[in-house]
Amino acid sequence: MTSTFAQWTLDVRDVDLMARFWSAALGYRIDDDGTHLRPPDGAPAGALSVWLQASAGPKHEKNRNHPDLVAADGTAEAEVERLLGLGATRADVGQTGREGFTVLADPEGNEFCVLHRRSS
């Protein structure tokens, strides 16, 4: 018996802001409860849902885990620019500039990466 990923849960302070950002970033729809994001129709089987869990405290340190995104269409550079336009910011977590990814942070400072190439 093994486990599989079912959901990505993110602690957030402003659920509405973060729901708008992550639904636009991922192309997910916001459930009626406003805290769950669901994959779009036609998403691959097993696509993760997202739960935005209300939390009172701010983020203090670098995330110990984070999502890695890939551009569904176009280039990684164009996807980075799109995400910046949605409210992401560039983040420095000690990268050298030679990595195969770009580090960004969502509007509440949670880091995530845009991979320059899809992983095998």
Over residues 22-53, the pLDDT tens digits come to: 999 999 999 999 999 999 999 988 899 999 99
Q: How far is CA 79 from the centre of its chain?
A: 12
Over residues 57-88, the pLDDT tens digits come to: 888 888 888 999 999 889 999 999 999 999 99
If you average pLDDT over residues 4-14, what whole number do you get? 92
Q: Which pLDDT score, from 0 to 100, does residue 120 have?
A: 55
Q: Which pLDDT score, from 0 to 100, does residue 62 have?
A: 82
Number of domains in the chain: 1
Q: Is residue 30 part of a domain?
A: yes
If you average pLDDT over residues 100-108, what whole number do you get? 95
Q: Is residue 120 part of a domain?
A: no
Q: Which pLDDT score, from 0 to 100, does residue 119 have?
A: 65
Domain that holds residue 85: 7-115
**What CATH number does the domain containing 64 carry?**
3.10.180.10
Distance CA 32, CA 4 (A): 26
